[in-house]
Amino acid sequence: MGKSTVSISHLRSLLVALVLVFEWTTPTLAATIHVPADQPTIQAGINVAVDGDTVLLADGTYTGDGNRDVSFLGKKIVVTSEHGPGFTIIDCEGTPDIPHRAFVAVNGEDTSTVISGIAIIGGEASLFSTIGSRYGGALYVSNAGLKIDNCCIEYCSAEFGGGLGMGPGAIVMVNRSTFRYNTCTSLGGAIACYGYPGGAMLSLIGVVISHCIAGHAAGGLYLESTTFSLDRTVLYANWGVDEAGAGMCFDSKIVINSSTIAHNSGGGTRDAFTFANDTLIISNSLISHHEGDSAIGIAGTKNVVLIECTNIFSTAGFGWPDSLAGYYGTNGNISEDPAFCELNTGNLTVYDNSPCLPGNNQCATLIGALDVGCVSTGIDNDNPALLPERVALLQNYPNPFNPSTTIRFFLSTRSFVIVEIFNVLGQRIANLVSVEFPSGEHDVLWNGQSDAGVASPSGVYLCRLRANGVTLSRKLVLAK
């Protein structure tokens, strides 16, 4: 396949258009309805809400009628939790014979309808589903909009889209959320979007899709007639039984930016990601360690493909497929081992010598979704005289986090170390360590609490390390 003559800057306007469409607009809050204090169930809370209201869920597990198969009734409202998905769970208790999912948006809602800070488990969509038959084990959206923020969707199942199912006219934005261990019997282990004939729109920002399984193809994502944006997102260890472990896209407009797609597997054609008759733009992204013949499969005759500053790597040989080989070596595209810290455990941060880091590649940009997370010294730790004076504060993992995160740092020599946490006002809220450490790599855990044992609210925090006269800092995001 030859290169397109269409410029990257021209088609990148597609990403700008997606950002404008999905720009976050916070509804004007008119009232807060507490569940179960004010209303006994989630649906009861929505029933009395009006546009702009918030339905606020107390900590706990919500089950039974009124807490599943919930309809937004066309209202522009926010359904959220007090303390995040670690404390607020909807257990749909669905089965193939008696299917139940968490939410449906099919009454003309728009993207000011929001669900936030909720975990959804046990959802099921089947032939017996009264709405969106067979699509979306946890959520179904058609001819409507929805925003999903800071949610965790796990152990849900459907024929299409184990976690999220989308039909024609759907507009969905997913932000800072996780899809794990979802399954489907056909297409789209995590998400399936069938936009034909009117089209659909889907945006994923800061999302993790992992360990999802499709009985046929597209372990992560299945998209048809969809305008789709993937930004700062991770697809890891998903499986398509026949093909396309990460995803499969047809007749769609696709923008993949600053994302990591790794360790996905599929039988049959065994592509990590398959595209057919798509407009495809990939930039600053990493596609690596796929288990199969090809990282990307290109089919059809109407593809427009533009790629820059992207690393496609395979342990079995040259990572770039024949259909895209002409892009290798141009526009900053490479095929090098990304040097993951712990691929097998899902820690896809990279060593400090990774070619994906800004200082180590031609584009001077981060390739992939995750920054440095471990250090490769290449030095003799048994001879202190040969050690350079060096201190490194690595990015915490996970980030964003809830309720705790691990902070890693490296010392070239034995040093007295102080690690502190500050809020955005510059106030110190926690002193994690003030002790001497030997040389090497070390871990410190922050449980999200202050020195007084008070849980910190969601927000951005600063981790500051002082050692050997050096002061380093990293931003941490607590997302409840």
pLDDT digits 0-9 by tens, 284-320: 999 998 866 677 888 877 788 999 999 999 866 667 8
Model confidence at 268, pLDDT cuts 50, 70, 90, reads low
Report the chain's mean pLDDT, rounded to a whole number.
Answer: 88
Specify the 3-state DSSP secondary structure of 386: helix
Kindly list the distances between the CA atom of residue 264 and the CA atoms of 209, 294, 370, 471, in Å, as whole numbers in the listed order: 11, 11, 17, 39
Residue % of the chain over a pLDDT of 90: 63
pLDDT of residue 201 exceeding 50: yes
Give the torsion sign (CA, 141, 144, 148, 151).
negative
**75-89, 176-190, 416-430: which range is least confident on average?**
416-430
Instruction: Report residue 384's pLDDT band, with 50, 70 and 90 as the boundaries.
Output: very low
pLDDT of 236 = 94
d(CA 198, CA 272): 28
Region 70-77: mean pLDDT is 98
Tell me which residue of 15, 30, 4, 2 sits closest to 284, measured CA to CA.
15
- Residue of 220, 242, 244 whose CA lies nearest to 153: 220
The model's pLDDT over 97-145, given as tens digits with 9 standing for 90+, comes to 999 999 999 999 999 999 999 999 999 998 877 787 899 999 999 999 9
What are the DSSP calls for 317-328, one per residue? B--S-GGGGGGT
In whole angstroms, give the CA distance from residue 45 to residue 58.
12
Instruction: Average the pLDDT over 347-353 and give the result.
Output: 91
